[in-house]
Amino acid sequence: MKYVYPACFYPEDDGRYSVEFADFDLATFGNDLGDAVYMASDALSGRILSMLEDGEKLPSASDPITIHPDDKHAFVSLIATDVKEAEVDILNKPVRKTVKIPLWLNKAASQKHVDFSAVFKDALLEQLAM
C-alpha cells in the first residue's frame, strides 16, 4: 500500500538536510537533497509498518499548505512510500543464526568452499516445502 505525507526539509550549513514529518514524531537526514528524500521515504516506511504491525491508527496526512517551517530556508515536500516494497525488503533481510555441526564436517565443507548460508537456506526451504 502506498502512503504520502508531507515532510519539512531543513538545509544544514554543511550541505546536508534534516527532515521532519509533521504528522509523526519522526526525523531523519541525508547527506544531500536526494539522499534526504530517500532517507525520508525509508524512515516513513519503517514508521508506518511498525504502527500497522502494532495495530495503531495512522494519522491523516496534513495539507502541505498548512505547514510552515520555522526556518526561512526550509521547505515542505510530499514524501511517498510503498510499504509493500519496504515489507519485502525487511522480510528478506538476512538474520544471523548460530548452528552447531561436527568439527570434521566443518573442515570438509570449508575445504570445498561451501556457502553455509546458502546450504542452510536451501535445506530450510526444502524442509518447509516452499
Q: Parallel, antiparallel, or unpaired: how do β-strands 75-82 and 26-30 relate?
A: unpaired
What pLDDT was estimated at residue 130? 62
By C-alpha distance, which of 2, 43, 1, 52 is closest to 24? 43
What pLDDT was estimated at residue 53? 84
Q: What is the pLDDT of residues 87-129, one digit of tens each?
A: 777 677 788 888 899 999 999 999 999 999 889 888 888 889 8
Backbone angles phi, psi at 74, to 5 degrees: -80, 160
Q: What is the pLDDT of residues 11-22, one digit of tens each?
A: 999 999 999 999
> Which residues does residue 37 pair with via DSSP β-bridges, in sequence order?
none
What is the chain's Cα-based Rg? 22
* pTM attached to this predicted model: 0.69
Q: Which domains does the chain have, with CATH numbers?
A: 2-91 (3.30.160.250), 94-130 (no CATH)
Give the percent of the chain with pLDDT over 70: 98
Nearest-angstrom CA–CA distance, 62 and 97: 43
Nearest-angstrom CA–CA distance, 86 and 127: 27
- Residues 130 and 123: beta-carbon distance below 8 Å: no
- What is the three-class DSSP state of 82? strand
Backbone angles phi, psi at 28, to 5 degrees: -155, -170
Interval 50-73 mean pLDDT: 93
Interval 74-99 mean pLDDT: 84
